[in-house]
Structure 1
Amino acid sequence: MFNLDHKFLFVGLFLLFLTTSVYAKKGEYIPSAVGTMSNHPTIDGGVYHPVKNGKTGPYKINEKTLKGGYKFGRKPTSNELKAWDTDIMADGTGLPEGSGTVEDGEELYEAQCVSCHGDFGSGGGGYPALSKGSGYNMQKTLKNQRNRPDADGPVRVFGSYWPQASTLWWYIRDGMPHTRSKTLKDDEVYALVAYILNINEIKIDGKLVDDEYELTREKFLKIKMPNVDGFEPKIDGKGSLERVRKYYKNPKNFGAIKVAYAKRCMKNCQKKSAKIVRVRNGGIKDFHPPLSNKKDKPALAKDKLNVKKVYDESCAMCHANDSMQAPVAGKKSDWQAKMKNGGIKGVYKRGIKGLNVMPPKGGTTLSDDEFKKVVDYMINLK
């Protein structure tokens, strides 16, 4: 949410980093004991140096900058502020009325999301997974430690890790799909959220979000994510800032030694009793396949290129429509225009080397010949 106090916060932070001492007699620099910022204790014990006689420490400062106001631009209008204030809060603030079914959400997902986020939200192509099974079961893995070579680490996906579902609703509405953000209707967003809750096996008010489930605003506000209490300190609700300050004021809350609050702890801050867990046997001992110094070239595999799969996973995001200003797959006129510069060989060459925002070979690891087959597929797509 847009905050008009950012300018004042910037001034405070500027003073905090500008100096680490105040001027004293005989050129000595004595650290200030002030441990407050805007009349509140600083969270980390950092020092805020007050302005005195036009100086902060040994440095002069333009005191006019401390009076606030606008140096550039103008005050935003109420309509401009309203346009920027688009966040969806966990308590339902900003969440519009609407509804959507899991069935509709699955159709939308298959049409607009699967190329990046994979089947059933499994992830792929560098884009994050949205599900790895039951969110409740996966939440139990968050404390897993990789203290053995074969140990399973924590699974951090929407269902297991995110504390609030409101973030998902907000992000989908404002940022998805990647090539056409803010084009989804509110009911479509509800449908997609319902589907993602479904593949994470989330329950709402004790009822599983099954294939027949319809998500409404009223039901959405009853969602309690498996990891809602998984973060410290608690930052939700009224008085959260004071709770955060109180939390960090007591080093026992995060395993540190009790030190003077107004001083930073720069060494020996961890409890001596902290248990250090090391990887057993010095690390990995078994390699599959076994280590070898042979330099033989691998045997050439037979052509198993799945052209359609490559297109769906690596090309469709930009070439399925004209939103990215790239030639549309199957649209002959687009490709004929590109062939005016060097013919089909020119198209191959530019695609292999990369052009504008397109990486070489579309970011794939295809050989030149394989890449040419994918281009041919796009040109002749029906």
Structure 2
Amino acid sequence: MIKLNNKLIALGASVIASTLLVTNAFAAAPSKVDSAAAGVYNPTKNALDGGVTYKRSNGSYTAYRINEQSTKGVNFGRTPTPNELKAWDADIMPDGTGLPKGSGTVDDGEALYDKDCAVCHGEFGAGGKGYPTLTGGTIDSLKNQRTCPGKDAPNRTIGSYWPQASTLIWYIRDAMPYAHPKSYSPDQMYAMTAYLLKESGVTIDGKEIEELNQDNFKKIVMPNRNGFYPNIDGPKGVENVRAFFKNPKNFGAVGTRCMTNCGKESVAKIGNEITDVVPAYSTVRDLPKVDPSKGGAVSEAQKLYEKSCAVCHKTDAMGAPAVGDKGVWADLVVKGIDKINHNAINGLGGMPPKGGAMDLSDAQVKDIVKFMVESSK
């Protein structure tokens, strides 16, 4: 015991001595930095947004020390093979590069949308279920600024905001549908894109879109195609951005650039509030009453399921038991309804408590579970 205590005392003394040495070393460091700081903070006005950058010098980047050790001999990996490059080079560009071969109709896209997308994005892409609104909106609304309550926000939708249709079909291919991304065939990709573009009022050569393929897709001109500036395309893109931001008037300022004590006269606000709409805007957030005779939800539990649970439980693609799969749910029911309710309320595996819908009460979750079980018999 005495030997152990001696070791602890010696160790404690060495730690204290080391701490003092390190503390003294850092305490002495500022004088060295200060003596060399003349060139550390000198900014260079060459930032892309018209601001400044700082050079790395004297072992520092502004007030922060940098590691100046040599990186010679560091292995950054190997050169990718042609096949790897081909697999990664999957961009779909505005000029049509990367478009798959295929075709899809608006009618097929509508059926696909109702099956896979309406649960999140609302009927016809009109939103209202917590996910982005895809259709509607006006280009004029993009000038709106929410400077006070009651003013309309910009409506950034496919038709009013997106400059290129290529990003739409590209995103659909790689990220949709939510529960099973990358599952659409080229024909389905074209069909979904055709439907969303038609619902957004986009035309081809002045005619409504009925079908899309790799040929007529290249003729699409989005309504807001020329609404973005500065021009970032081409070899002069970077310089165009740099020149744009160097002039404060381009982004609303009427005076010089400022970070502190900026007066009201330094910023010009754009006023373009839209009020003459029919019907008038409403702040009521109540969901419309559902008529069961028209195929709507027939119970409160089903409505809650569609709102909060169907995204994952509609199919088994997310690893969750799909509603309607009798075999899977029969195995779960054997364990007892109390066990299912407990897992639904407290979470299990990749599912968070209550599926992430923490505004649901325990009683509501149990009602949803009962609906899911009854729907899977």
Alignment TM class, shorter chain as reference: 0.7 to 0.9
Residue 347, structure 1, aligned to residue 353, structure 2: no
Letter in 1 for 2:53: V
Provide the residue aligned with 2:142 in structure 1: 142
Aligned equivalents of 2:349, 2:311: Cα separation in 1: 16
Compute the displacement of 1:192 (Å). 0.2
Mapping of residues 1-382 of structure 1, within 5 Å: 27=36, 29-30=38-39, 31-32=41-42, 34-36=44-46, 42-49=48-55, 62=68, 64-65=70-71, 71-132=75-136, 138-146=138-146, 149-209=149-209, 213-256=210-253, 266-267=259-260, 272=265, 274-275=267-268, 305-341=299-335, 343-362=336-355, 363=357, 365-381=359-375
Compute the displacement of 1:98 (Å). 2.1
Unpaired segments ≥5 residues, structure 2: 1-31, 272-282, 285-297
Compute the displacement of 1:25 (Å). 9.9
Q: Which range moved further: 194-203 or 122-131? A: 122-131
Compute the displacement of 1:166 (Å). 1.0
Larger radius of gyration: 2
1:251–1:70 Cα change, 3 Å: farther
Cα pair 1:255 1:271 within 8 Å, conserved: no
1:266-290 superposed Cα distances (whole Å, 9 cap, x missing partner): 4466783545699xxxxxxxxx99x
1:327-369 superposed Cα distances (whole Å, 9 cap, x missing partner): 222333322433454x111111221233233233332644434
Find the residue that maps to 1:312 and give its secondary structure. helix
Cα pair 1:194 1:215 within 8 Å, conserved: yes
Cα pair 2:105 2:195 within 8 Å, conserved: yes
Letter in 2 for 1:123: G
Letter in 1 for 2:181: S
Letter in 1 for 2:174: D
Compute the displacement of 1:149 (Å). 4.2
Aligned equivalents of 1:348, 1:378: Cα separation in 2: 11
Letter in 1 for 2:38: Y
Provide the residue aligned with 1:14 in structure 2: none
Provide the residue aligned with 2:7 in structure 1: none
Cα pair 1:256 1:271 within 8 Å, conserved: no
Compute the displacement of 1:190 (Å). 0.5
Compute the displacement of 1:374 (Å). 2.3
Find the residue that maps to 2:92 and give its secondary structure. coil
1:294-347 superposed Cα distances (whole Å, 9 cap, x missing partner): xxxxxxxxxx84333333333222222222222222333322433454x11111
Provide the residue aligned with 2:290 in structure 1: none
Aligned equivalents of 2:152, 2:361: Cα separation in 1: 34
Find the residue that maps to 1:215 and give its secondary structure. strand
Share of identical aligned residues, percent? Answer: 47
